[in-house]
Structure 1
Amino acid sequence: MTVGPTVWITGASSGIGRALALGWAKDGARLILSGRDRERLGDVAKEAGGETLVLPFEVTDHEAMTSAVERALEWSGGIDVLVNNAGISQRSLAVETALQVYRDIVEIDLMAPIALTQAVLPHMAARASSKLVFISSVAGKVGVPLRTAYCAAKHGLIGYADALRAELSASGVEVHVVVPGSVATNVSRNALAATGAKRGVSDRAIDNGIPPDEAAAEILAGIAAGQREIIVARGVERAMGEMRRTPDQLFDQIADMVAKGYIEKMEPQPS
């Protein structure tokens, strides 16, 4: 019997993360499900069925993350797909927003996925056929009001992913950036307000957004098709994402630079 890929998803207890887990489970994937809520992760594992490891940890806790990587590799023998999905949004005007909100969102939405990716990168690169998936946002392409911290973090995540893709372009490791618009999740309800408190209410755009299972289906199809940038949005959000889409020709040009020795040319020359 063919063994499916091992897929590690952060933020897997709800929303896009949960929907991706269920979608991959249908294709026979072995799942590692991470988030903060063990009970909710367990519910997703039961719904997914199959071979599943529930691995809760707080993404900003470096020691817990390091232990989670060790446990994940011990259980799986290697990660085929890492989905950096865990994150938090914002709903507040910049002029009213405490600096700590910026620190918290950048730590959760940018530094945490970088830290986890860096920890598993040597193992994934050795497999030569693995995939790194970064869930950013249309707000990672466009400056959206009430989300200055979120935009900063999500723009940064795309920058990290694009540079990493270039470095790995000859390794067989694929890097996919997902750019969702409004998806009907708890993202707005869980967003940070100006003081850093949880907002606690949703908004119409999110409530009328794309159902998570439809968003997940588009993401899975894009990954299967080898799309490096996957825009999952409707209407004006789709139009904004497409206006700021990075052309495939540019990705190819940067990969060609790497193939022609760009990295080697940057190495210090002997004096």
Structure 2
Amino acid sequence: MQNKVVWITGASSGIGEALAYKFSKEKYNVIISSRNEIALQKVKEQCVFSENIKILPLDLEDLDSLNNKANEAWELFGKIDILINNGGISQRSLALETNLETEQRIMRIDFWGTVVLSKSILPKMIANNGGQIVTVTSLVGKFGTKFRSSYSAAKHALHGYFDSLRSEVWDKNISVTIVCPGFINTNVSINALVGNGKNQGTMDDAQVKGMHVDVFAEKMYNAISSKKEEVYIGGKEIYGVYIKRFFPRLFSKMMRKQKVT
């Protein structure tokens, strides 16, 4: 894989950071992006083959900048074989207590930022005879739970968009993989937005007890390598996808009582 290039957004911590380590270990050329350039530098220094890591700061909320960022990313190694859309922000607030600005921000970062970046890189992949778009959503992209209304909406939207895109670009040698994490032990809940737009600042019990991020990254790497269309990775919470599908009323009753933070 020495000539393969992967671009990972949200790579300064959590899932993105673990993926950077994994792809570096597998001798990929890796581009890592997030808003936090200092944190990205630390990630680079800890990669096995740090000389093959390039840093490209970006802000998914700044939609107007993303096309230029895609051009910059492409020029770093002359191509991109895999784009991993991992950057985003979560939510921990009831719908009725969440202001519109916060809801719009979640949608702008999680949905529109991902879409704009993908559309910026896709024509280049097609001209280069192929590539893979990987989008990290969530199990709440398959079903909704309390305290996640806008976040769940953004993740549901990503499923609809990238499922449709897959059917449109398959004949151009572009594969699309959707990865749905369950509870993974990262800082996602600490950085999650509450109703007024501020960060929650605390770790959810479910995240603390979640799958270790390195284990998750290994499983996600295998799914990407196999070009899976959709994969669920987590603990027993992944069974919620099937309960929702086959026993929707039972699922609704379970969610009313379920602790999801």
TM-score of the two chains, using structure 2 as the length reference: 0.90
1:95 Cα shift? 1.2
Tell me the distance in 2 between the aligned counterparts of 1:161 and 1:243: 23
Mapping 1:199-210, distance limit 5 Å: 199-210=200-211
Tell whether the 8 Å contact from 2:61 to 2:109 is kept in structure 1 after alignment: yes
Verify: 1:77 aligned to 2:78, yes or no: yes
Verify: 1:108 aligned to 2:77, yes or no: no
- The 10-residue stretch of structure 1 (168-177 or 132-141) with the greater mean CA deviation from structure 2: 168-177
What is residue 145 of structure 2 aligned with on the other side? 144
What is residue 241 of structure 1 aligned with on the other side? 241
Tell me the distance in 1 between the aligned counterparts of 2:117 and 2:39: 22
Mapping 1:21-100, distance limit 5 Å: 21-48=20-47, 49-100=50-101
Tell whether the 8 Å contact from 1:4 to 1:27 is kept in structure 2 after alignment: no
Tell me the distance in 1 between the aligned counterparts of 2:242 and 2:225: 20
1:242 Cα shift? 4.0
Q: Matched residue pairs, number?
A: 243
1:84 Cα shift? 0.4
1:126 Cα shift? 2.1
Q: What are the Cα deviations for residues 103-127 of structure 1, in whole angstroms up to 9, with x where unaligned? A: 0000000000000001011001223
Tell me the distance in 1 between the aligned counterparts of 2:239 and 2:123: 37
Tell me the distance in 2 between the aligned counterparts of 1:178 and 1:201: 25
Verify: 1:20 aligned to 2:19, yes or no: yes
What is residue 9 of structure 2 aligned with on the other side? 10
What is residue 263 of structure 1 aligned with on the other side? none
Aligned to 1:168, the other structure's residue is in SS state: helix
1:224 Cα shift? 1.5
Mapping 1:159-198, distance limit 5 Å: 159-198=160-199
1:167 Cα shift? 0.3
User: Percent same amino acid among aligned pairs?
Assistant: 37
Tell me the distance in 2 between the aligned counterparts of 1:133 and 1:244: 24
Tell me the distance in 2 between the aligned counterparts of 1:63 and 1:100: 19
Verify: 1:158 aligned to 2:159, yes or no: yes
Tell whether the 8 Å contact from 2:63 to 2:112 is kept in structure 1 after alignment: no
1:215 Cα shift? 0.6
Letter in 2 for 1:216: A
Aligned to 1:196, the other structure's residue is in SS state: coil
Tell me the distance in 1 between the aligned counterparts of 2:242 and 2:174: 25
Tell whether the 8 Å contact from 1:90 to 1:150 is kept in structure 2 after alignment: yes
Q: What are the Cα deviations for residues 19-77 of structure 1, in whole angstroms up to 9, with x where unaligned? A: 11111111110011100111110111111123111001111113432332121111121
Tell me the distance in 1 between the aligned counterparts of 2:216 and 2:129: 28
Tell me the distance in 1 between the aligned counterparts of 2:84 and 2:241: 21
Tell me the distance in 1 between the aligned counterparts of 2:2 and 2:143: 40
Larger radius of gyration: 1
Tell whether the 8 Å contact from 2:185 to 2:212 is kept in structure 1 after alignment: yes
Tell me the distance in 2 between the aligned counterparts of 1:209 and 1:20: 17
Letter in 2 for 1:13: S
- The 10-residue stretch of structure 1 (177-186 or 40-49) with the greater mean CA deviation from structure 2: 40-49
Tell me the distance in 1 between the aligned counterparts of 2:143 and 2:3: 36
Aligned to 2:188, the other structure's residue is in SS state: coil
TM-score of the two chains, using structure 1 as the length reference: 0.87
State the superposition RMSD in angstroms.
Answer: 1.3
Aligned to 2:238, the other structure's residue is in SS state: helix
1:243 Cα shift? 4.6
1:18 Cα shift? 0.6
Aligned to 1:164, the other structure's residue is in SS state: helix
